[in-house]
Structure 1
């Protein structure tokens, strides 16, 4: 569903992602791990066409179509979606108004309840939220947008242990639920803590360091390797 084909991404002329090849198939959930500054968030931002990230080499293909010539909103309308690591606060825009604007008001109550955000419907998005509330709020926002390809940037970081399970179940449910046309979805999750792996079903893991994808394998085995040996690639 989403392909990064030999992708290099630059910011202000400096490469922050270098020659990455990664394919996420329909119905699959992939987990991307790596140290801070390794290019993980930059890769997802490039997929969404966000400034100042510029693809200087390769191609990003969604559902068989290159998205490099498309604006961010055009990519979103095609079905790409991103839950940000540090989402902004949007004063004057309540969750209920946001859901109504994107035609998802019917889903707000159920999805908010599943993320323990039932009381937040009339609050402005992320205004006065704690760190954990903001992360759950961002997951809710992406789910309400109903993209086919869901990308999550550290969705469980800063979330208390009780709500990590809530976030994980929401991510799993969103990816395994077909879209309105009955088509499968897919997902790509960045994680530092690895805690979300206890609550999602995935066999696809990747390690990224210094802007390069250095190893791919079973997600849980890779996380155990990282816990013992750091982010260097396992021996062949």
Structure 2
């Protein structure tokens, strides 16, 4: 079974310096039908103006993954980490028992465009942690490259949740498949471009929620960049 949610159906908030689309309930956007999908709790598509960003603020008991699409994002946190991530970089911050951090556009002039993803951890109260890895376009071209997983396999960042995140670049005749074990959920988010997911046409900002399926198939891409989430259920 596949349910399509179009880009325009998402929550939207434009604060001038921040233009944000919310796939799930977040901040002032409340949607009882879209609070989470399995352990996937947040996908915010953010565009942050030059020189702007989020001042120091706190999180706890959440796995936070940042995937940059364009521009550069400067990160600082209370664990002593400081870095600038760009397209191709995947950052994981485990909030655990509590962490403070800030995120700012690293450029004074150019917009930064990113996806911030929250995944509910398998248990609360772990120590906070941080990790980042780079995945070049060649790693994702015509295939699903695991970029985050519970066991850090294939050099992915390690998230403490029943979820694996894959990234793919699909164009022309390229085709990629992800087998799903029985009882698993899949969520597909199209970051840009267009393609078909299990035969359904999706464009940038669209999503597919897949249940009771044994495979996720990506094909017929038009410069598509896609994230696919392999998820357990949330009891």
TM-score (norm 2): 0.35
Query: Which of 1 and 2 has higher RCO (CA within 8 Å, sep 6+)?
Result: 1
Higher strand proportion, which one?
2
TM-score (norm 1): 0.35
Higher helix proportion, which one?
1
